[in-house]
Amino acid sequence: MIGRVNHIAIAVPDLEAAARRYRELLGASVSGVQELPDHGVRVVFVDVGNTKVELLEAFGEGSPIAAFLERNPDGGMHHICYEVADIGAAIRRLTEGGARVLGDGKPKIGAHGLPVVFLHPKAFDGTLIELEEVKPDFAPA
């Protein structure tokens, strides 16, 4: 059901400082800042060739990242995102298997403009999982 790792997300207390460290110290290519008020985060993506690292900080009232950073003031790994071909089918299979989809159980549009859901960490050995629906790229013949 799951495809490749789309990204690994790291919560940070200061997005600009973290992006600068990745750019200047690691020589990484870092995207511009995206504000995602529906998810309560500001993000940048670090391109590492075979996947991405998402740096995210709290944004707005009730951000889930704010609570994470209260417990982990220096930041840390927040979640891992896997690609799926059909998010509706994935949700059905997971809920039938006993996994809990967070929120209202319906996909939201994520940072890449694609449907995403988050799965409760208790179902996956303490790791928050994000699923992102992607469609295969078809090259013209």
* Contact between 28 and 19 (Cβ < 8 Å): no
Let me know if 16 is a catalytic residue: no
Q: Which of 54, 130, 132, 133 is catalytic?
A: 130
Identify the structural domains of the chain with CATH numbers, from first to last: 2-133 (3.10.180.10)
Q: Please, which residues bridge with residue 74 across strands?
A: none
Going by the DSSP 8-state scheme, the letter that residue 140 receives in this structure is -
pLDDT mean over 29-51: 95
Give the residue, 139 or 130, on which the prediction is more confident. Answer: 130
What is the rounded CA–CA span in Å between residue 99 and residue 108? 18
Q: Where residue 61 falls among pLDDT bands split at 50, 70, 90?
A: confident
Mean residue pLDDT across the chain: 94
Mean pLDDT computed over 59-80 = 94
Q: Given this model, what pLDDT does residue 137 score?
A: 64
Other CB atoms closer than 10 Å to residue 13's CB: what's the count?
14
Give residue 66's pLDDT.
95
Strand, coil or helix: 94: helix
Torsion of CA 38, 44, 47, 48, to 10 degrees: -100
What's this model's pTM, rounded to 2 decimal places? 0.91
pLDDT at 88 over 50: yes
